[in-house]
Amino acid sequence: MKLKTGLLAAAAVTTILGAMWVAPAAHADDIQAVRMSQVGFETQGPKTATVADASRRPLPWRVVDASGREMAAGESVVFGADAASDQPVHTVLFSQVQTPGEGYRLIVGAHESRPFRIADHPHRSLQYDALAYFYQNRAGIEISADHVARPDLARPAGHAQETATCFSGTDKAGTTWPGCDYSLDVHGGWYDAGDHGKYVVNGGIATWMLLNAYERAQAKGGPGAAAFADGKADIPEAGNGVDDLLDEARYEIEFLLRMQIPDGVTLAVPVGVQSAEGPLTLTPIDVGGMAHHKVHDARWTPLPTAPADDRETRYLYPPSTAATLNLAAVGAQCARIWRTIDVDFARRCAAASQRAYRAALRNREVFAWDRFEGGGGYGDTDVSDEFYWATAELYAATGAEAYLTALKTSPYYLGGPRSGATATGDPGWASVASLGSMTLALVPSPLPDADRARVRANLAAGARAYLEEGWASGYGVPFGGAQYPWGSNGAILSRAVVMGLAFDFTGEWEYRNGVIQALDYVLGRNPLDQSYVSGYGDRPMRNPHHRFWAHAADPAYPTPPAGALSGGPNNQAMADEVAQGLSGHCRAQTCWADDIGAYSLNEVAINWNAPLVWTAAFLDDH
């Protein structure tokens, strides 16, 4: 989630010990020196723990079962100082233990782990709980007690009737917006994060990720292709004969289609890169076919606020080229998937996609600016990656030679995240070129065989770079360096998606093991001994920044359901009061607090939960 200026963060008390944030007193004693996944390990998969210990000599270790019988023994590997946590650590690899069971313990020197389990499919439930996040953040419908794990998670519909017109008036930087003479029915879709805003650019990448998980499973075949078969997820659409992953994605796609502007509309919008300070210059242009960037409240709602209790006026905010290309990309993806499921819906998606693409070609430099109250900015003044992504999706959907010709003019053509001159960058809402390359590598199309081989090789090269960063980390996380951005957990799991596809393309098990390392990190193998996923592990995230899952702010509101991913450590944009209290006192991986007021550390968001669905489903598919 992008910075939310103006939001009042709850006051928080933090304790600093050396360079590490220490959990509130109720949980401080729970932090243990042996850090590992708190969900468990695959029977035949890698099993790794990191142990915080300053010894410069290897430590003896042994694994015992629930009865105390020794199952394996050895010596730790001294890693030394871990830059991202400022901790001296050891690594223990105990993959030779391959008997399923509960109650195992790892004893390393004077340290002992909590009991852990070994199972064939330890992440099976996680894929469904992570997907349930999206249903529970739907706008426009009641969240029924029939489809949630606890009665307190049910709620009335928020914004059930949402017809909005364009924002008019003066923004925070002095630009006067004239508004528009139309309104759009933009009900439905997912609330983006902890607030009630709905954003096309974040909705685009989150939807793409869920649909890519579906396409990847269908391409591979086998049991994974039916992981979300009709009825597997607990959603209202279950029983309609359509894969539940597709049903959930369609709920957002319908909203994205509603954000498209009718033909023949002229609006005054900012064109080109302008100064970040002071009023913008607005130019009247034909915006027909473009997508409004977002819809949200005129002012930030207080914490907590149930969606049905939101009384703020909601507006459409100006269209952007980035949002328009997100619609073009996801619309094309929709068209090719639904053409054998619902031909009328597929045609709607195809028509909207092509209209949006033409509109973006006509208006290449209409950018979003973070100048409005009540919502995140999601500004992006380089949309070359969005053009590549949308063109790749349209090519995969149509096979039209014109799209391939356009693709070959892109600086990202066939690039992987780290593939030199054509590098796409890591996947993220503001860096989507890698999504185009993943589609070209995965989806059947007339792409020449040599080009498909090249893009797969480039993706695998990027995945190997991630692996190497993991090997250089004391906690094995494939995210090197000491700079952890807003939403670092989502960034780590998005890298895991690239590694997962690299495994599919090459069959090299190191890539699959890299996905496990990434998921192990967010599930507890980290310097805070913290599972960043609610409802999972001995120390799960409990207090997300969320306006309805807000028990920490008001006991009348519920705690979060299982399966919500915290944004995670962030030492780059420490915007809220909780984070500011940590700034200068924490290393990258320890700049986090389980605090409802810590929106720059502990918010939840659709673009972070989507790769959690992808990776959990990927690991279960074996």
| SS3 of 459-481 | HHHHHHHHHHHHHCCCCCCCCCC
Active site residue 551: no
Q: 511 lies in a domain?
A: no
Percent of the chain with pLDDT over 90: 94
User: 209-219: per-residue pLDDT in tens?
Assistant: 999 999 999 99
| Domain assignment of residue 491, yes or no | no
Q: Which amino acid belongs to residue 291? A: A
Number of H helices, E strands in the chain: 15, 21
**CA dist., res. 20 & res. 572, Å (int):** 16
Our answer to whether residue 603 is catalytic in this structure is yes
HSE-up of residue 424 (Cα within 13 Å, Cβ side):
33
| Section 451-480 average pLDDT | 97
Q: Give one DSSP letter per residue of 50-99, joined into a string.
A: EEE---SS--EEEEE-TTS-EEEEEE-EEEEEETTTTEEEEEEE-TT---
Q: Is 3 among the domain residues?
A: no
- CA-CA-CA-CA torsion for 593, 599, 600, 606, nearest 10 degrees? 110
Give one word for 174, left, alpha or beta, with left for phi > 0 and alpha for psi -120 to 50: left
Amino acid in the structure at residue 117: R
Is residue 481 in some structural domain?
no
Model pLDDT for residues 115-143, shown as the tens digit of each residue: 999 999 999 999 999 999 999 999 999 99
Predicted pLDDT of residue 504: 98
Compute the mean pLDDT over every residue in the chain, rounded to the nearest whole number. 94
Beta bridge partner(s), residue 284:
268
The catalytic position among 42, 129, 162, 195 is 195
Q: How far apart are CA 211 and CA 330, in angstroms?
A: 9
Per the annotation, the verdict on 247 as an active-site residue is: no
Report which of 146, 203, 195 is spatially closest to residue 307, judged by C-alpha positions.
195
Quick one: pLDDT at residue 559?
Answer: 98
User: Is 129 or 5 the better-scoring residue by pLDDT?
Assistant: 129
Q: How far is Cα of residue 133 from the mean position of the Cα atoms in its chain?
A: 12
pLDDT at 103: 98
Angstrom CA distances, 522 to 161, 476, 511, 530, 609, stand at 37, 11, 17, 8, 12
Is there a contact between 45 and 92 (Cβ–Cβ < 8 Å)?
no
Question: How far is the C-alpha of 553 from the C-alpha of 551, rounded, in Å?
Answer: 5
Q: What is the DSSP string of 564-598?
A: PBP----SS---SHHHHHHTTS--GGG-----TT-
Is residue 252 part of the annotated active site? The answer reads no
Q: Is the pLDDT of residue 20 over 90?
A: no
Whole-angstrom distance, CA of residue 105 vs CA of residue 5: 45
Tell me if 394 is assigned to some domain: no
Name the nearest CA neighbour of 516 among 16, 28, 36. Answer: 36
Helices marked H in 221-342 — which ranges? Answer: 244-258, 321-338
Contact 339, 325 (CB under 8 A): no
Q: Which residue of the set 594, 595, 620, 621 is catalytic?
A: 594
DSSP run (H or E) holding 176? strand 176-178
Instruction: Report the distance separating Cα 576 and Cα 304, nearest Å.
Output: 16
pLDDT over 70, % of the chain: 95
Query: Is residue 18's pLDDT more than 90?
Result: no
Q: Would you call 316 helix, strand, or coil by DSSP? A: strand
> Pick the catalytic residue: 545, 576, 577, 595?
545
28 confidence band (pLDDT: 50, 70, 90): low
Is there a domain that residue 440 lies in?
Answer: no
In this predicted structure, what is the pLDDT of residue 443? 98
Q: How far apart are CA 532 and CA 547, in angstroms?
A: 18
- Report the distance separating Cα 584 and Cα 570, nearest Å: 12
Torsion over CA: 467, 471, 473, 476 (sign): positive
| DSSP per-residue codes, 334-383 | HHHHHTTT-HHHHHHHHHHHHHHHHHHHH-TT----S--TTS-----S--
Q: What is the pLDDT of residues 274-292, one digit of tens each?
A: 998 899 999 999 999 999 9
CA angle (467, 96, 40) in 5-degree steps: 70
Structural domains counted in the chain:
1
Is residue 191 over pLDDT 90? yes
Which residues, 6+ apart, have CB-to-CB distance to 398 below 8 Å? 332
- Arithmetic mean of pLDDT, 295-311: 98
pLDDT of residue 481: 86
| Residue 29: pLDDT band with limits 50, 70, 90 | low
* The pLDDT of residue 467 is above 90: yes
**What does the pLDDT read at residue 420?**
74
We report the CATH number of the domain holding residue 179 as: 1.50.10.10
Q: Domain span at residue 360?
A: 140-187+193-381
Given the structure tokens 């400022």, which residue do they identify?
86
The whole-angstrom distance between residue 12's C-alpha and the CA centroid of its chain comes to 26
Which is catalytic among the residues 129, 248, 252, 603?
603
**Pairing mode of beta strands 116-119, 41-42:** parallel
End-to-end CA separation in angstroms for the chain: 32
In a domain, 469, yes or no: no
Classify residue 44: in a domain, yes or no: no
Q: What pLDDT does 622 receive?
A: 81
Cβ proximity of 35 and 533 under 8 Å: no
Which residue in the block uniquely carries the two structure tokens 């509960």?
102
pLDDT at 396: 98
The Cα–Cα gap between 522 and 126 comes to 12
Q: Give 404-445 pLDDT, tens digit per residue.
A: 999 999 999 999 999 877 999 999 999 999 999 999 999 999
Answer whether 0.85 is exceeded by the pTM. Answer: yes
